[in-house]
Amino acid sequence: MLSGFMNFLRACFRPRSDRYVHSSSDAGSRQDGLLWYKDTGQHFNGEFSMAVVQANNLLEDQSQLESGCLSSHECGPYGTFVGVYDGHGGPETSRYINDHLFQHLKRFTSEQQTMSVDVIRKAYQATEEGFLSLVTRQWPMNPQIAAVGSCCLAGVICGGTLYVANLGDSRAVLGRAVKATGKVLAIQLSAEHNACIESVRQELQSLHPDDSQIVVLKHNVWRVKGLIQISKSIGDVYLKKAEFNREPLYPRFRLREPFKKPILSADPSITVHQLQPHDQFVIFASDGLWEHLSNQEAVDIVQNHSRSGIARRLVKTALQEAAKKREMRYSDLKKIDRGVRRHFHDDITVIVVFLNSNLVSKASSVKGPNLSVRGGGVTLPPRTLAPCAMPA
């Protein structure tokens, strides 16, 4: 019975092989089916490892690592930028962030001639405003773009300081060595904005005291207005601007009552961490990883294995856990194609950034080579769906 079901799943949404297109700005990356990875590389402050596995028909996770100059002028400051953008409703918002957030960050860094919380906040705001402009232009031809959004996790390492900014439920976790025990402790650096967290629900209720339906428990999952789990994002304009919450937007996205102020926010939570010699590495990952691994489990895996390929190892461990939860073999899960795969796990993006204390302590004015890497995947033209063939 299971064998027949697996054959059916493999038959569904199977694309022609000549439609697989992968592009990356870094030649050291590899593609293995739905898995893209770059096992090792060198950034301004140490080594790094990246991996992305696709589950959606169109990859909604986007990611990047930028190292070297963090401003529009080559005079610095210098450091490392990491971004993980977990899209929903489609890939448009996460792709937009991948193309614009770092460019905005460089522009504001140049204007202020330094890296700061204010620079990062302004870069997020400019990205949100830019995507709103895009939605406004495209609304007459493509109104559903108003219901596309993305979580947005970014990390900046500059002059011995680590800035972590977040919208949504992606996560950054620091691995810190404890001298007394020799173990590495997991420390979560990012604040999350998911309605499953009681403090997030309380914040929403305090912001919308007259709306008894601001958070709704639907199918045992807390959702904002019964529609979306996260309370902060880039995009999702249909829950920020009332003029986009109307026909011809699909009925399932339209609210019965008009709203007077934005329901979702694009104001990121930003933490500032002064890096210490015992800070070993940071794991940046979309919630697809954290659904299956705890913070400490992920840190232990990184600590106990070789650095090369560690992001790929984390992704594989998460997939093995996903298979186990569905009482199936990992080898069978790997055979399920994109689209159908989403029923078993989400897109997963992992970037592990190792911290070399000698490099981290360098002044941000010390020049380093520029590097740009983007997480890859199987990409198709918009609205390209292969038909679902019935099993023989």
Six-digit token string for 231: 């309370």
pLDDT at position 98 is 97
Is the pLDDT at 110 greater than 90, yes or no? yes
List, for residues 117-128, the tens digit of each pLDDT value: 999 999 999 999
In whole angstroms, what is the distance from residue 349 CA to residue 370 CA?
Answer: 22
Mean per-residue pLDDT over the chain, rounded: 87
DSSP string, 271-301: EEEE--TTEEEEEEE-HHHHTT--HHHHHHH
155: closest CA among 110, 194, 123?
123
In whole angstroms, what is the distance from residue 61 CA to residue 52 CA?
Answer: 8
In whole angstroms, what is the distance from residue 304 CA to residue 242 CA?
Answer: 50
Please tell me the pTM assigned to this model.
0.88
**Worst-scoring range by mean pLDDT, 73-77, 94-98, 244-248, 276-280?**
73-77
Q: Other CB atoms closer than 10 Å to residue 229's CB: what's the count? A: 20
Query: Tokens 């003029």 map to which residue?
Result: 243
List, for residues 161-210, the tens digit of each pLDDT value: 999 999 999 999 999 999 888 899 999 999 999 999 999 999 999 999 99
Six-digit token string for 125: 């705001």
In whole angstroms, what is the distance from residue 135 CA to residue 46 CA?
Answer: 39
List, for residues 251-273, the tens digit of each pLDDT value: 999 998 889 999 999 999 999 99
pLDDT at position 121 is 98
pLDDT at position 32 is 86
In whole angstroms, what is the distance from residue 348 CA to residue 50 CA?
Answer: 11
List, for residues 14-52, the tens digit of each pLDDT value: 333 322 233 334 558 888 889 899 999 999 889 999 999
List, for residues 321-334, the tens digit of each pLDDT value: 989 988 999 888 88
Using CA atoms, how far residue 259 sits from 205, 240, 263, in Å, is 14, 9, 8
**Average pLDDT of 48-68?**
92
Are 260 and 242 within 8 A, CB to CB? yes
Q: For the chain, which domains are there? A: 31-192+233-375 (3.60.40.10), 195-229 (no CATH)
Six-digit token string for 341: 């795969």
How far out from the chain centre does Cα 344 lie?
A: 18
In whole angstroms, what is the distance from residue 91 CA to residue 32 CA?
Answer: 21
**Worst-scoring range by mean pLDDT, 53-67, 86-100, 287-301?**
53-67
pLDDT at position 377 is 54
pLDDT at position 339 is 84
DSSP string, 172-203: EEEEEE-TTT--EEEEE-----BTTSHHHHHH
pLDDT band at 376 (very low <50, low <70, confident <90, very high): confident
In whole angstroms, what is the distance from residue 168 CA to residue 182 CA?
Answer: 33
Six-digit token string for 362: 């360098």
pLDDT at position 363 is 65
In whole angstroms, what is the distance from residue 4 CA to residue 8 CA?
Answer: 6
Query: Which one-letter DSSP state was computed for residue 243?
Result: G
**Average pLDDT of 370-392?**
52
pLDDT band at 100 (very low <50, low <70, confident <90, very high): very high
Phi then psi for residue 64, to 5 deg, are: -155, 155
Is the pLDDT at 73 greater than 90, yes or no? no
pLDDT at position 8 is 42
In whole angstroms, what is the distance from residue 237 CA to residue 142 CA?
Answer: 13
Share of the chain above pLDDT 90, in %: 71
